[in-house]
Amino acid sequence: MRKILSESSGIPAKKIEPHHYFDKDLGMDSLDAVEAIMNAEETFGIAIPDEVLEKMVQVEMMEKYLIQMLKGS
């Protein structure tokens, strides 16, 4: 996920931390966030519902959700 966020934000993946917020820490606007989410959905073969997306504002939130989905929970 951090590689995907890196591609959308321009920040090296190794500098992206779980506590980072997409907007204030990574400088991503809503279009950047949508692009990253679409890339994540394609990469991991999942669909993230809009109601879940609205609450995702931090790297850690996205990572936890992806892990949950990939484990089938």
Catalytically active residues, by annotation = 29
Contact 40, 4 (CB under 8 A): yes
Cα dihedral sign, 15-17-19-25: positive
Measured CA to CA, the distance from residue 65 to residue 73 in angstroms comes to 10
